[in-house]
Amino acid sequence: MKIKNHIPNFITLLNLFCGCLAIVAAFKFDLIIASYLVFAGAFFDYIDGTAARILKAKSDMGKELDSLADVVTFGVVPSIIVYQLLIKNITGSVFFSDYNFLIYFPFIIALFSAIRLAKFNIDNRQTISFLGIPTPANAIFWASAPIIIYYNEHLTPSTFTFFHSFLSDVFQNPYILLIMSLILSLLLIIEIPLFSLKFTNFKWKNNSIRYLFLAASIILILLINVAALPIIIILYIVFSIIHQYFL
């Protein structure tokens, strides 16, 4: 087999390697490092498919390997990040002392991510769009949490630090963490039609929703930097629903 046929799989393995390192970092409570490794994994996850198309090296093995890597980087790692955030913020809570088994609830993210990825592999309807939130998008939402908390503690007060402060409080509230874990996990498998960010061409007519979403995302990042990430994921869902049912 030609060497070029192995390149996409090698990139996929880099995604998996990022996930493995992120697990180590997260259990050592180096959540910032774990988050950056999730972002790196998302980058490799995006370009492995692109490489496969350019090199004409698509394969059934590559498809399965991609899902195996994704369940680690975008399923297990976010679960551990939320678990660690929960552990850190339940000190003194009578509720969690009575129901301490709830500290393991965030691992529902890993379970539903696995279901979502398994469905994706056998669902021919998701070739140019998605049904349910893609696991990388869900992972980016959660990976942004430790960085937002850090930024909120170290940023010089400005007009836009309100967003960092608000989101920091949200991500440090154990009850909200449990609720969001459930909601986002369900959104992984509920068949909400969501557009893909992969371009088959660059015409406005075929990609207007993508261009509008990317423009809104860039503006948000320029204004509020990392605090934009969870907002962008929410916007992605909103834009998709508007595009599907109203345009």
Query: How many percent of the chain have pLDDT more than 90?
Result: 50
Q: Is 13 exposed, middle or buried (0-12, 13-18, 19+ CB in 10 A)?
A: middle
Report the CATH fold assignment for 3-245. Four Helix Bundle (Hemerythrin (Met), subunit A) (1.20.120)
Domain coordinates in residue numbering, the chain: 3-245
Mean pLDDT of the chain: 87
115-155 pLDDT tens trace: 999 888 887 766 667 788 999 999 999 999 999 999 888 76
pTM of the model: 0.89
CB atoms within 10 A of CB 141: 20
162-192 pLDDT tens trace: 788 899 999 999 999 999 999 999 999 998 8
Question: CA 120 to CA 179: how far, in whole Å?
Answer: 25
Q: Is 171 exposed, middle or buried (0-12, 13-18, 19+ CB in 10 A)?
A: buried
